[in-house]
Amino acid sequence: MRKVLLPLFLVLTPAAASADDRGYLTALLEDNLSGAGRQVTITGFAGALSSRATIQQLTIADDEGIWITLDDVVLDWSRTALLSGQVIVNELSASAITMERIPTGDPDQTTPEAGTFEFSLPELPVSIDIGEVRADRIVLGAPVLGQPLEGTLSAKVHLAGGEGNASVLIERKDDGPEGRIALEGSYANETGRLVLDLDAREGAGGIVASALDLPGAPPAALTLKGEGTFNDFAAEFRLESDGDERLAGPISVKTAEDGTRGFAARLSGNPAPLFLPEYAEFLGEDLKLDVTGARSPTGTLSLDELLLEARSLNLSGKLRLAPDGLPELLDITASVADPAGGEVLLPTSGPVETRIRRADLVLAFDATQDSGWSARVDLAGLNRPDLTVERAGLRGSGRLDRAAGRRGVGGTLLFDMTGLGGLDPALVTALGERFDGRAVFSWREGAGRLAIPQITLTGADYGLNGGIWIEGLGEALKTRLRLEVDASDLSRFSGLAGRPLGGAAEVGLRGEVSPLTGAFDLVLDVTGQGLTSGIAEADRLLAGRSAITASVLRDTTGTELRSFTASAATLNVTGQGRLQSSGASLTGNIVWASLADLGPNYGGSLNVAGGFDGTLQDGLITLTGQGDGLRIGQAEVDRLIAGRSDIALKLALLDGAPVLRDLNLTSPNLSAEVAGEGDSGAMRVSGRLSDLALLAPDFPGPVTLSGRLTPRGSDFDADLRVTGPAGIDARVNGRIGAVPDLAISGTGEAAVANALTDPVTLGGRLGYDIRLSGGWAPQNATGRVTLSGGQVAVPARGLSLDSVAATADLSGGTARLALTASAARGGGLRLDGPLGLVAPYNADLSLRMERLRLRDPELYDTTLDAVLQLSGPLLGAARLTGRVVLDETELRVPSTGFASAADLEAISHVNDRAEVRATRARAGVGAASGGGTGAAGGLPGWLLDVVIAAPNRVFVRGRGLDAELGGEIRIGGSLNNIIPSGALDLVRGRLDILGKRLVLDEASLVLEGSFIPYITFVATNVTEDVTSIVTIEGPANDPVVTFSSDPELPQEEVLAWLLFGRGLDTISAFQAAQLANAVATLAGRGGEGIVSKLRRGFGVDDLDVNTAADGTTSVSAGKYISDNVYTEFGVDQSGNTRVNLNLDLRPGVTVKGRVDSDGSSGIGLFLERDY
């Protein structure tokens, strides 16, 4: 009323008001229009005493600042009409009204009490008629309606005799979608009749569609038309989109005589298009909503009718809530299901779809009957990308007490779930296919406590039980708990742990926790039985019973570890201490009676005690320990720590930096001492290894360390020296810290490292001069490492290199290698190129071999030339390319086979020591051998492109064979999948069996993914009645000999025809013995033979002794005089000689010449082609 009468007061002010009066009027307006949380400011007020008053600007602010601004306000009114009892306003306008946001509410405003609503228009002594209310420009900020808006406002208002009517029109005029809000209304005090007509419409992409996130943001319209009184009002509601009705129906409010305000709504329609298309099926095309209820003057809210029906949703029931919020009546039934029986897509928010087959809800409580309540929730077929549940259920029942002073609720909840999936598979495995739970709870007003004295969760072989009591629900939430977990098979938790777990465990936790303050007082008990983790040593230690107990208290003074114990087998760990803001005091002990708990390779006892006092800025760490007869399964280390070992350590923290006060380590073979020199932090360093022969048997004598460490801020200046046998003399000088600057130089014998490089042995003089600056990573190292007079031997491969000279220049994370060496059996090699020092170890290495002889006494002897290139990351797809040319090569078919002794069966070594395993490993015994032709798995994925060329002079000898092969093989694929192509084929050859010589018809040597070649040799012999065929085929280290014939005969019969030209039943006893010897030769027991030994002694490539049918004997010898020229010399027992000369013009084309001692000669051209 004040805001209405104030302008009337202004017009009655005397016309003689002065300029000071105008300032007074502005202040009067501002003071009366302002209030709590509202500040009105008027700028440029003029014409107060004229018929046209103006205000340059009017702003209204709340506690957060200005929220609305009116510019160029004009009031054009008739002063003469006032004399007749009328207020006629011709124009009330503003050039612009800018509303940046919604104002904050009045903090002192209270919610009105429920009851009848009394409304009346003010009874004024004058009538008010406002012909035009206009705003040429309305600007609303985005916070007001969700998006910025500009438009216009026009209105008309009439008020007289307790009756009034008004019309308002707001239209949007910016670049956004069209929008229009029209409101017509009237009210009369005498009848209380209220008429309201609201029509709001907007185009596509409008405010309402965007705010509700309607799919496609369609055009929308809302109408509300009704009449009645404020206590008995009925209206028709209609919501449209795209010009079609979506939801419509009557809504009403009615107040009874006792002040109870009733309300009702009966709406129906097809709102599905207002949702995303995929959710339309959930609602269907016919939705019905019926709500009838009331709110009493005392605040009781009741829903006497609640009905919501859609295609996949049915909800019905009744509800009554008392003023205190507790229910007096609950009768709710709801279900979600697809009438067709399929899945239902729930209209949830977010990008993840949620589908179910069915859900049911039942809630029941009626205070007029008794205090019992019940609830049931059933869910079937939950399906989300991140979670699936076949079935879940919740049952609840209990008592609800509403009596004053005793209000409370309690009950029991039962939960079960089956078919959990969609989560991390490891979590699903841990929880199992089915689990269920139970909880008993109670709460009572005034006690401020929620009690859950019984909690259980049960799975297939695990369970949780206990109780939780929460005090002070409105304060610190002090919680008392008692929980126990029992898991009889920990293997189900292997996936979560990332390790193969096993065994059983029990975990107990009890005490108090205050989540809001962080205080707690807890006791933890963990017991395990037969625990396994996939770590052999740990599994042995935990094979029996193991336990952990801890008691921890945290309060306002700090955290106290009252006790901690851990035990397993003969190991016991204890600790206690306190952490405070002023510092900490912690102590601990480890007593281990026998490290043999870890396995047979371990042994001895260990006793360690330690402590910490102070703060991280100013503290002291102490450690003492004793070990007796320690063994860890590493032979070299075990020798160093044999006997009794003692250690004592004192480490101080000064301004957060560690300062070593004292360190002493003593044992029969190893000692070390670091002694501090006052608070300066300087330390004397000394150490001694009694005998280097413990690690390198060839170099007896002590190794000593001496020097000094001086602190420089958080770093140390080092001056250290190591001396010992094998010419060991190393120095380390410079800065040690986060950013080191060290010079490392020295000399020594490379053989000292043989214990680490086995089965490769090293020798020679090693020197190094390295600078490490800027960081500890290898790329920060520069300098040179040299090896002179070196030797490298790989006994298992028959390789020995002498006169090794090598340098490695370090720079930028790369070592540039240069190595030359001579082979002990002849030839040499050279290696050059860069090699990266950090992963993936990029390399570009070139290896050249010249006349290098490689030999395996049982298998091969060859001389080769090679040029190989290794490029790329050694841990990745590096590429090995090049060409290997074989010179004279001999492959031996070893003397093994079906007549040899059988291999021993696999031997299982029980409780073998580390030294025994190391010896077997060096001998190549005990490691699993991968059979087949592929390379070993797990090798780097190097790509291969290597050609092995052998034009001729590849001799295969043994088991009566003497053949020459030639050809070319290409090795492709990768180290993990070697793919060879090509073969070595027959040049010439023969097979001898008991003086019977067979010329080879076919011979080949093929690599099939393994470096043991696959050989095939076929020879035939034709007699009058039988054609005999001998085939030797298989891996070169274990070929198979077979005999076949035409017509088909048994193998021993074929051999008799082959050797003696007659059947097995007609040979003599002596011939039978010869037959057995021939079989032994082919089976691999006949040895090399006398002729082979003579051939090697004479230095020829071929030597043969032959007996003719008439008993005469002849000898022939052959040798290559160049790569493609072969000569053969023969002489018989009469002295006749013959010289043969073979010239290979090209593969398949050979010129042969012959000269005899009787003067005869011959020449021929031979063409060969394989089909």
**Residue-by-residue DSSP string for 548-608:** EEEEEEEETTEEEEEEEEEEETTEEEEEEEEEETTEEEEEEEEEES-GGGG-TTEEEEEEE
- Asked if residue 764 lies in contact with residue 752, where contact means CB atoms within 8 angstroms, the answer is no
Cβ burial 1074-1112 (10 Å sphere, 16+ → b, else e): bbeebbbbbbbbbeebeeeeebeeeebbbbbeeeeeeee
**Among 3-7, 172-176, 251-255, 562-566, where is mean pLDDT lowest?**
3-7
- Asked if residue 997 lies in contact with residue 1116, where contact means CB atoms within 8 angstroms, the answer is no
pLDDT tens across 200-245, in order?
A: 898 888 877 777 777 888 898 989 999 998 888 999 999 998 888 9
Contacts of 948 (CB under 8 A, 6+ apart): 884, 886, 968, 969, 970, 971, 982
| DSSP-based three-state secondary structure for 4 | helix
Contacts of 44 (CB under 8 A, 6+ apart): 54, 55, 56, 57
**HEC states along 102-170?**
CCCCCCCCCCCCCCCCCCCCCCCCCEEEEEEEEEEEEEECHHHHCCCEEEEEEEEEEEECCEEEEEEEE
Amino acid at 1164: G
What confidence score (pLDDT) does residue 901 get? 39
More confident residue, 416 or 498: 416
Q: Please confirm whether the linkage preceding 759 is cis (ω < 30° from 0).
A: yes
pLDDT tens across 420-432, in order?
A: 888 888 888 888 8
Query: Considering only CA atoms, which of 267, 268, 443, 403 is closest in space to residue 322?
Result: 403
552 strand-pairing partners: 522, 561
Q: Which residue has the tokens 């008991």?
A: 994
Residue 443 tokens, joined: 């709460």
956 strand-pairing partners: 891, 963
Q: Which phi and psi (to 5°) does residue 286 adopt?
A: -145, 105
Q: Are strands 163-172 and 149-160 parallel, antiparallel or unpaired?
A: antiparallel
Average confidence (pLDDT) over 5-19 = 42
Alpha-carbon distance of 1102 to 952, in angstroms, equals: 14
Residue 397 tokens, joined: 């029942």
Contacts of 944 (CB under 8 A, 6+ apart): 879, 880, 881, 971, 972, 973, 974, 975, 978
Domain ranges of the chain: 1-85, 113-271, 1089-1171
What confidence score (pLDDT) does residue 477 get? 80
Name the pLDDT band for 1085 (thresholds 50, 70, 90). Answer: very low
pLDDT tens across 134-158, in order?
A: 888 888 888 877 778 898 988 887 8
Whether pLDDT at 83 is above 70: no
**How confident is the prediction for the chain on average, in pLDDT?**
82
Cβ burial 917-947 (10 Å sphere, 16+ → b, else e): eeeeeeeeeeeeeeeeeebeeeebebebebe
| DSSP-based three-state secondary structure for 1104 | strand
Q: Please confirm whether the linkage preceding 740 is cis (ω < 30° from 0).
A: no
CA atoms within a 13 Å half-sphere pointing along the CA-CB vector of 904: 5
Alpha-carbon distance of 974 to 1009, in angstroms, equals: 10
Helix, strand, coil tally for the chain in percent (to 5): 10, 60, 30
pLDDT tens across 1110-1127, in order?
A: 545 566 778 787 777 888
Alpha-carbon distance of 44 to 369, in angstroms, equals: 71
What confidence score (pLDDT) does residue 487 get? 93
Amino acid at 677: E
Whether pLDDT at 993 is above 70: no
Name the pLDDT band for 747 (thresholds 50, 70, 90). Answer: very high
- Asked if residue 751 lies in contact with residue 742, where contact means CB atoms within 8 angstroms, the answer is no
Alpha-carbon distance of 722 to 701, in angstroms, equals: 13
Whether pLDDT at 1 is above 50: no
What confidence score (pLDDT) does residue 452 get? 94
More confident residue, 769 or 70: 769
Whether pLDDT at 107 is above 90: no
The length of the chain in residues reads 1171
Contacts of 220 (CB under 8 A, 6+ apart): 201, 202, 206, 208, 209, 214, 239, 240, 241
More confident residue, 899 or 1066: 1066
Measured in Å, how far apart are the chain's first and last C-alpha atoms? 120
Q: Which residue has the tokens 């009323």?
A: 1
Alpha-carbon distance of 834 to 877, in angstroms, equals: 17
CA atoms within a 13 Å half-sphere pointing along the CA-CB vector of 625: 21
What confidence score (pLDDT) does residue 8 get? 42
What confidence score (pLDDT) does residue 920 get? 56
Q: Are strands 943-958 and 879-892 parallel, antiparallel or unpaired?
A: parallel
547 strand-pairing partners: 527, 567
Contacts of 805 (CB under 8 A, 6+ apart): 787, 788, 789, 790, 819, 820, 821
Name the pLDDT band for 1094 (thresholds 50, 70, 90). Answer: very low
Range with the largest mean pLDDT of 191-195, 985-989, 1074-1078: 191-195
Residue 772 tokens, joined: 């490490």
Whether pLDDT at 565 is above 90: yes
Alpha-carbon distance of 846 to 830, in angstroms, equals: 8
What confidence score (pLDDT) does residue 111 get? 46
Name the pLDDT band for 688 (thresholds 50, 70, 90). Answer: very high
| DSSP-based three-state secondary structure for 1082 | helix
Proportion of the chain above pLDDT 90, given as a percent: 33
Whether pLDDT at 125 is above 80: no
Average confidence (pLDDT) over 369-380 = 94
User: How many Å is the maximal CA-CA distance in the chain?
Assistant: 169
| DSSP-based three-state secondary structure for 28 | helix
pTM listed for this prediction: 0.60
Whether pLDDT at 986 is above 50: yes
Amino acid at 1160: S
Average confidence (pLDDT) over 696-710 = 90
pLDDT tens across 787-829, in order?
A: 999 999 888 777 888 999 999 999 989 999 999 999 888 889 9
Whether pLDDT at 874 is above 50: yes
What confidence score (pLDDT) does residue 64 get? 87
Where are any strands of DSSP class E within 713-797? 715-724, 728-736, 741-749, 761-773, 781-794
Distances (CA, A) of 744 to 118, 227, 720, 741, 1155: 98, 100, 10, 10, 73
Residue 290 tokens, joined: 């019926």
- Asked if residue 253 lies in contact with residue 262, where contact means CB atoms within 8 angstroms, the answer is yes
pLDDT tens across 882-912, in order?
A: 999 998 888 887 654 433 334 444 566 655 5
Alpha-carbon distance of 567 to 545, in angstroms, equals: 8
**Residue-by-residue DSSP string for 248-292:** EEEEEEEE-TTS-EEEEEEEEE--GGGS-HHHHHHH-S-EEEEEE
More confident residue, 725 or 657: 725
Alpha-carbon distance of 1130 to 1126, in angstroms, equals: 14
Where are any strands of DSSP class E within 633-727? 644-654, 657-666, 670-677, 682-689, 703-712, 715-724
